[in-house]
Amino acid sequence: MRPEARHAKAFSSLPLAAELLDNLESLGYLAMTPIQAASLPPILRGQDVIGQGKTGSGKTAAFGLGLLSALDVSRFQVQALVLCPTRELADQVAEELRRLARMLANVKILALCGGTPLGPQLNSLSHGAHVVVGTPGRIEEHLRKASLDLSSLAVLVLDEADRMLDMGFQAALEAIVAATPTARQTLLFSATYGDSVRPVAERMLREPVNVEVDSTHDERSIRQHFHQVADEPGRLAALSRLLLHYRPESSVVFCNTRRETQTVADELAAAGFSAQALHGDLEQRDRDQTLIRFANKSLSVLVATDVAARGLDIDALDAVFNYQIARELEVHVHRIGRTGRAGASGVACTLVTEKEAYRLERLEAFLGETLTLEPLPGRSTASREPFKPRMATLQIDAGKKQKIRPGDVLGALTNGDNALSGDQVGKIKVLDRSAYVAVERGIAQQALATLSAGKLKGRSCRVRRIGR
């Protein structure tokens, strides 16, 4: 047991249903994290809460347990809505809520995001749901079509609340909030809150309780380095040198534009790195597949816009590289928070040109630390090879491990996730070095997410890399 866990409070001290407590125990959630211990009592009393806690501090379970406790499962109406700023985050939150709700009978949790066909969503909605997790655009569209009824909503959650409250989401958010009862409970959660969001937040909430736990990242677990580069070609050379020096198995490179993300990913791939781009211009199925390959460790370097800055929960991310320094200071905090999660150590390197020096100064003031430019590490990277992911193994039911190769078809499995209906069947096929559920009856996308989460109708299914 970790020393700080000694005085931590147990979930059993809260007025939670026995099914929830049993499930928490089976999930290995022993004690509450600080943000859970501070926010759950007011949440369970029905109060509005503005929660602030560093990335990976357990915010999802905090509001998740709150909203699940507020459900009346016998009423088949949408009683809780969670809004997220990216589709990937919404999917991840829905998955975590399903994990938390596992032992509650018949709780229906639906993810509604753009980039996926409307038809299946309309069909699912017609069968009813208790909890909806989604992105603003698609939720607004369902409201316009009257396919989603929020008049019985009891709990509204804004995840990554400061992003949800900024200008770009304003119109959609207002339309959605207007469709909910004013008597609802409203919960805001984020690692950062810019100054501009406070007044907007105050208007949405009623006498909110402010819960704040260690506002930013854990400085001890993330080593930050700043390196000066002369010009744009110098940036790419510096990045490739850093990748050869640290040789991270999994790392994210953040760029400030989609275009640059694509260029850098292409250049790295041409130089022999296992790199792919992730940004909002890509098809959703490409975004999903890239993230799954990254999680499976068949892809080593993810070159991304800030679509991946928040929430993205990939464990064992060794390093974050900022190709440019982020435009917003809060975003920098979210980006580097992708590494060093759950106590693991991580490194965050930021490339800075002379022109961007003023951003470094602002960051210094924001973080309240002295940030010094260091020379690039690793004098002798010339002879080093880029990190290459190896062959993967597939393990089903903790049984015999199977080696998998590109093109292999491993057989059929029934998918038991409650997001899918009936007897939809997918074949596990291997593309590249990652396991993949082949397209059959158009369910590939959801089946993919389920496979990577390790759930296939009672079977535990895990994709691992061999060696090292």
Q: For the chain, how long is the longest CA-to-CA vector?
A: 66
Cβ contacts of 228 within 8 Å, gap of 6 or more: 351, 352, 353, 354, 373
Q: Distance of CA 230 to CAs 237, 238, 323, Å? A: 11, 10, 13
Shortest Å, Cβ 359 to DNA: 11
- For residue 136, state whether it binds DNA (rule: CB under 7 A): yes
Best CA proximity match to 80, nearest among 186, 168, 165, 178: 186
Binding flag, residue 297, DNA (CB under 7 A): no
Q: Is 408 in the site for DNA (CB under 7 A)?
A: no
- Residue 304: which region, alpha, beta or left (left: phi > 0; alpha: psi -120 to 50)? beta
115 binds DNA (CB under 7 A): yes
Decide: is 118 part of the binding site for DNA (CB under 7 A). yes
Distance CA 192, CA 122 (A): 35
Nearest approach, Cβ of 297 to DNA (angstroms)?
Answer: 23
- From 41, 280, 377, 386, residue interacting with DNA (rule: CB under 7 A): 280
Establish if 281 lies at the interface with DNA (CB under 7 A).
Answer: yes
Which sign, positive or negative, has the C-alpha torsion 451, 453, 459, 462?
positive
Q: What is the closest distance, in whole angstroms, from the C-beta atom of residue 171 to DNA in the complex?
A: 8
Residue 218, C-beta contacts closer than 8 angstroms, at least 6 positions apart: 54, 340
3-state secondary structure at position 312: coil
For 146, the token pair is 């009257």
CB of 331 to DNA, least distance (A): 7
Task: Decide if residue 139 touches DNA (CB under 7 A).
Answer: yes
Report the nearest approach of DNA to the CB of residue 140 (Å): 6
Of 137 and 234, nearer to DNA (C-beta) is: 137
Contact 438, 467 (CB under 8 A): no
Using CB under 7 A as the binding rule, whether residue 307 contacts DNA is answered as yes
The answer to whether residue 256 forms part of the interface with DNA (CB under 7 A) is yes
**Which residue's CB is nearer to DNA, number 305 or number 452?**
305
CA distance 341 to 62: 18
Closest CB to DNA among residues 327, 384: 327
Does position 41 bind DNA by CB under 7 A? no
Using CB under 7 A as the binding rule, whether residue 377 contacts DNA is answered as no
> Which C-beta is closer to DNA: that of 53 or that of 85?
85
279 binds DNA (CB under 7 A): yes
**340 touches 288 (CB < 8 A):** no
Assigned token pair, 468: 């090292």
Q: Of 66-74, 132-140, 149-157, 187-195, which segment contacts DNA by CB under 7 A?
A: 132-140
> By CB under 7 A, is residue 160 in contact with DNA?
no
442 binds DNA (CB under 7 A): no
Question: 452: Cβ–Cβ under 8 A, 6 or more apart, which residues?
Answer: 292, 295, 296, 463
DSSP strand pairing (459-465 vs 392-396): antiparallel
| CB closer to DNA out of 54 and 279 | 279
Measured from the CB atom, is 282 or 376 closer to DNA?
Answer: 282
State the DSSP H helix or E strand holding residue 254, giving kind and residue range, or none if neither. strand 251-254
Which of 452, 189, 161 has the alpha carbon at shortest distance from 315?
Answer: 452
Whichever of 40 and 188 has its CB closer to DNA, that residue is 188
With binding defined as CB under 7 A, does residue 192 bind DNA?
no
Neighbours of 99 (CB within 10 A): 16
Contact letters (x/-) for DNA, 77-106, by CB under 7 A?
--------xxxx------------------
Using the minimum distance from each CB to DNA, give the nearer residue, 94 or 172. 172
Query: In terms of CB distance, is 133 or 349 closer to DNA?
Result: 133
Looking at 139-147, 203-211, 291-299, 433-441, which segment touches DNA (CB under 7 A)? 139-147
Chain centroid to Cα 397, Å, comes to 27
Transcribe 203-215 into DSSP letters.
HHSSSPEEEEES-
Footprint on this chain of DNA (rule: CB under 7 A) = 85-88, 113-116, 118, 134-141, 144, 166-169, 172, 256-259, 279-281, 305-307, 327-328
